[in-house]
């Protein structure tokens, strides 16, 4: 939507969090709370955003990135109206201004888009989002007239006994015409029990000036859930997890146990993929179709093709091709590119390496700083010795090489195509094509050694 800007209030200390970290920087599924709000504002069409900071302002500013984001400082917290005043230079009188809070991470762009649409279709000067709740304790109440028209918002501490019985509450989400907001902010005062400047009072000032104010009741009040404590942070995380998991299931992904599956907001999963219990999928992970992940696997910023099986293992910042199997108990470290139809077996670690199509690393191996070709076989106990105590070096293993059990390849070294490395060898020099390389001491048999030892020990 055009002609829309957003102000996000994020100046509060959040003392109930009992944390050294600013409240809005606490994370839900590895994403800062305020980032969810920023994404929601942008997705409904707000190209320019102003974040009002206060407590640990520099830390908050440093943690927020992205185009179109500016900041305003609220050095003293004197209420929500005062916070918006601090963003006065950002307010464009010819545009609509959306007001959001940095501690409401469950807000969604679709909901905000509907709010903007209603606000404009009804030609309201200001529109507030309300919700009906069973226990309105502590919330500001929406007061309407006999015809259901909006009259005012009364904060809980200032409400009369009758007003406190009202179950329609203010979510704190607003949209204003910029001209109306600027005029109302100029008329605010702090004549209330808290001595603060309430943004809610702007609505009454707009009504008195002849403007129209609307209240849109939300279908789902949980979307406006505010986080003020660690307990509420956990509650919000549970709600977010349920939302994300439901979306994936509705899109054709099987989650064997949704309550024990943890998927970050930006993860993508293809149809007919099965996620088994205990999996944690983080960051920008992308999983193709017909994969089977888990149980108890962790993927961080991974990219997987189709038909991948990834069992009880960990993968980070790497790529895996189609129909490859990984695990159990494998560790894919950053900067790996693993091809198609590869087998990465149990207790195998791969780091900063490429592994060609059809290669097999069945078990108990370390493949670090290595360029392995196609259809290589690494025997049990294969170790790429990449560190000389000062520097890391690379190993090259070309196509169709057979590496026997308990082999050390001491980098920098190249094993040419089709070569065989005998079990137990420590290779320190390049190996030519199609040869058998043996690098181990000749076996000796010492006859009578046991009897001599027993006589000596007696």
- Distance, in Å, from the CA atom of 123 to the CA atom of 386, rounded to the nearest integer, reads 68
> Given this model, what pLDDT does residue 411 score?
97
User: What confidence category does residue 192 fall into, taking pLDDT thresholds of 50, 70 and 90?
Assistant: confident
Q: Kindly state the average pLDDT of the residues 314-334.
A: 98
Reported as a single tens digit per residue, the pLDDT across 49-62 is: 999 999 999 999 99
- Full-prediction pTM beyond 0.85? yes
Q: What angle do CA 60, 102, 249 make, to 5 degrees?
A: 115
Q: Kindly state the average pLDDT of the residues 435-447.
A: 91
Known active-site residue 156: no
Using CA atoms, how far residue 183 sits from 116, 192, 329, 407, in Å, is 20, 20, 63, 78
Q: How many CB atoms lie within 10 A of CB 70?
A: 12
- Distance, in Å, from the CA atom of 38 to the CA atom of 91, rounded to the nearest integer, reads 17
Return the closest-CA partner of residue 93 out of 19, 186, 229: 186
- Distance, in Å, from the CA atom of 442 to the CA atom of 419, rounded to the nearest integer, reads 21
- Distance, in Å, from the CA atom of 273 to the CA atom of 271, rounded to the nearest integer, reads 5
- Distance, in Å, from the CA atom of 165 to the CA atom of 199, rounded to the nearest integer, reads 22
Q: How many CB atoms lie within 10 A of CB 425?
A: 21
User: Does residue 151 have a pLDDT over 90?
Assistant: no
List of domains in the chain: 4-224 (3.90.550.10), 252-437 (2.160.10.10)
Using CA atoms, how far residue 402 sits from 151, 160, 346, 348, 423, in Å, is 81, 83, 19, 17, 10
User: Does residue 336 have a pLDDT over 90?
Assistant: yes
Catalytic residue, candidates 156, 363, 393, 400 = 363
> Given this model, what pLDDT does residue 1 score?
67
- Distance, in Å, from the CA atom of 93 to the CA atom of 97, rounded to the nearest integer, reads 9
Reported as a single tens digit per residue, the pLDDT across 248-293 is: 999 999 999 999 999 999 999 999 999 999 999 999 999 999 999 9
Element housing 248 (H / E):
helix 230-250
CB 37 within 8 A of CB 101: yes
The length of the chain, given as a count of residues: 458
Reported as a single tens digit per residue, the pLDDT across 92-122 is: 999 999 999 999 999 988 889 999 999 999 9
User: What confidence category does residue 195 fall into, taking pLDDT thresholds of 50, 70 and 90?
Assistant: confident
């Amino acid at each position: 939507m055009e002609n829309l800007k957003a102000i996000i209030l994020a100046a509060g200390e959040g003392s109930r969090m009992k944390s050294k970290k600013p409240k809005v920087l606490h994370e839900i599924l590895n994403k800062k709370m305020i980032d969810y709000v920023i994404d929601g504002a942008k997705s409904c069409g707000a190209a320019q955003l102003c974040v009002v900071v206060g407590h640990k302002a520099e830390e908050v500013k440093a943690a927020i990135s992205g185009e179109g984001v500016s900041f305003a400082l609220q050095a003293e917290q004197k209420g929500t109206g005062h916070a918006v005043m601090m963003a006065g230079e950002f307010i464009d009188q010819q545009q609509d201004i959306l007001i959001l809070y940095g501690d409401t991470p469950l807000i969604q762009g679709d909901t905000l888009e509907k709010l903007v649409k209603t606000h404009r279709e009804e030609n309201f000067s200001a529109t507030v989002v309300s919700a009906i709740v069973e226990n309105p304790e502590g919330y500001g109440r929406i007061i309407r007239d006999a015809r259901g028209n909006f009259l005012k918002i009364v904060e809980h501490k200032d409400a009369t006994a009758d007003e406190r019985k009202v179950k329609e509450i203010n979510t704190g989400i607003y949209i204003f015409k910029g001209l109306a907001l600027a005029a109302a902010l100029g008329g605010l005062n702090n004549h209330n029990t808290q001595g603060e400047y309430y943004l809610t009072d702007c609505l009454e000032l707009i009504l008195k000036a002849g403007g129209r104010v609307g209240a849109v009741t939300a279908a789902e009040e949980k979307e406006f859930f505010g986080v003020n404590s660690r307990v509420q942070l956990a509650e919000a995380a549970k709600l977010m997890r349920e939302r994300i998991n439901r979306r994936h299931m509705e899109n054709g992904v099987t989650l064997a146990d949704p309550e024990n599956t943890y998927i970050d907001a930006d993860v993508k999963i293809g149809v007919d993929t099965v996620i088994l219990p205990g999996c944690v999928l983080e960051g920008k992970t992308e999983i193709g179709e017909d994969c089977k992940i888990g149980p108890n696997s962790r993927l961080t910023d991974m990219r997987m093709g189709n038909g991948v099986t990834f069992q009880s293992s960990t993968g980070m910042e790497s790529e895996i091709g189609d129909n490859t199997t990984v695990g159990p108990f494998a560790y894919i470290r950053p900067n790996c590119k693993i091809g198609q139809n590869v087998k990465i077996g149990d207790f195998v670690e791969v780091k900063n390496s490429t592994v060609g199509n059809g290669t097999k690393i069945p078990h108990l191996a370390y493949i670090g700083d290595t360029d392995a070709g196609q259809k290589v076989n690494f025997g049990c106990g294969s170790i790429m010795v990449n560190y000389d105590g000062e520097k890391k070096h690379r190993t090259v293993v070309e196509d169709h090489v057979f590496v026997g059990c308990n082999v050390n390849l001491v980098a920098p070294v190249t094993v040419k195509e089709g070569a065989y490395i005998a079990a137990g060898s420590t290779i320190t020099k390049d190996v030519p094509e199609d040869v058998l390389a043996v690098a181990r001491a000749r076996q000796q048999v010492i006859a009578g050694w046991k009897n001599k030892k027993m006589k000596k020990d007696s």
